[in-house]
Amino acid sequence: MPGSPLDPRARGTNDLIRQGAILCEGIDDILRELRGPLSVRRPSPPTPPPAEVPEEEIDALRERIAALLSPAAVSRDELVRITGAPPSAVYGALVELSVAGRAELRPGNMAAAVG
């Protein structure tokens, strides 16, 4: 027993035993466990690359986002939802607006118009 059930410091190790943990004193213990039944995990399919916004639409998206901003901060995720544009395009437009002095990027994934 790794610890007395009355000792609060042994709570973690006792809980691991309760969950079915095994004793591991070396590589032999690990190899013994690996020889047991293994569940085969299939690799997940690769995620498609993010959707690209055509170059001619980037200026329009940037201006649409600028129009949606006000001095009251709005979530960047909300801007993605409203515009329907890919997050990378919205975030890129916000950075461009920030560099141009037209937007302020705030903590907590928020953005606001400079004003």
DSSP-derived secondary structure letter, 51: P
How many other C-beta atoms are found inside a 10 Å radius of the C-beta of residue 88? Answer: 13
Report pLDDT digits (tens) over 36-63. Answer: 665 556 677 777 776 677 888 899 999 9
How many other C-beta atoms are found inside a 10 Å radius of the C-beta of residue 97? Answer: 21
Report pLDDT digits (tens) over 87-114. Answer: 989 999 999 999 999 999 999 999 999 9
**Domains, the chain:** 55-113 (1.10.10.10)
Q: How far apart are CA 87 and CA 80, in angstroms?
A: 6
- Predicted model pTM: 0.56
